[in-house]
Amino acid sequence: MSKVLFKDWYKAVEQKLDDPVAIVTLDTPDGGIPVDVRKRLTFEERFRMIRDIASLCVKDGVCARDFLRFAIDYCMLNYYTNLNCDVSLEHIYELITMTDIVKKVIGVIGIVEYRRICADAESACVEDAGSLRQLELLAARINKFLDEVDNETNAESGEELDNLLKLANRLDSLSQQDIVNNVIEMHKKSDTE
């Protein structure tokens, strides 16, 4: 069996890359606003979008599945369109529920890609929630260990105790967002290795 060269098989991809943007109309009482919709994202952009969806949905180690669909729609508008999404989530919610903009974006990117985004986002949320829970358990174990060490160490041992207390204080001061950012960084590192 002979190998098909990149220059040959890439022709099948190239024919689908001709026009990277489609224009849809966001209906308004004044007639409509043209909105650019990208037909595809780069691999890196799609990865970031999925991570953004997960970060919106995972709070306190739990994936808020009831918020997942909105997070997907919000991030799709943010990544695929030229709409300014730097407004309150309430305004984006109104846009999504009171217009057919999401259906129009799905019409451009295709239902298959939309379903892939939904599946990938749900998997990322579940994975991040599990990772966050594992990190919380690990932090709890470390804190328990440090408490035990603190109880066994007398205050006169000086520098060693100070270093352990600094470490314990740092672990206590980690916010949920720090943990989420660390999980995201771990995923990025593991994906690039």
Mean pLDDT of 180-184: 59
Secondary-structure breakdown of the chain: helix, strand, coil percentages, each rounded to the nearest 5: 70, 10, 20
DSSP secondary structure, 59-102, as one string: ETTEE-HHHHHHHHHHHHHHHHB-----S-HHHHHHHHHHSSHH
Alpha-carbon gap, residue 142 to 152, rounded angstroms: 15
Mean pLDDT of 164-177: 63
Alpha-carbon gap, residue 113 to 104, rounded angstroms: 13
Residue 176's pLDDT band (boundaries 50, 70, 90)? very low
| pLDDT over 70 (residue 20) | yes
Cα dist. 119→155, 183, 191 in Å?
A: 54, 20, 18
Question: What is the predicted pLDDT for the residue at 130?
Answer: 60
CA-based nearest residue to 80, from 55, 31, 54, 117: 117
Say what percent of the chain tops pLDDT 90.
32
Q: Is the distance from CB of 63 to CB of 73 less than 8 angstroms?
A: no
Could you identify the residue written with the tokens 């943990």?
179
Query: Which residues neighbour 63 within 8 Å (Cβ) at sequence distance 6 or greater?
Result: 57, 122, 125, 126, 128, 129
Residue 116's pLDDT band (boundaries 50, 70, 90)? very high
Say what percent of the chain tops pLDDT 70.
65
Residue 31's pLDDT band (boundaries 50, 70, 90)? confident
Residue 53's pLDDT band (boundaries 50, 70, 90)? very high
Tokens of residue 170, six digits: 């740092």
Tokens of residue 28, six digits: 């308004």
Contacts 24+ apart (CB under 8 A), 137-142: 139/171, 139/174, 139/179, 142/171
| pLDDT over 90 (residue 49) | yes
| pLDDT over 90 (residue 108) | yes
DSSP secondary structure, 141-175, as one string: HHHHHHHHHHHHS-GGGTHHHHHHHHHHHHHHH--
Based on its alpha-carbon atoms, the radius of gyration of the chain, rounded to whole angstroms, reads 23
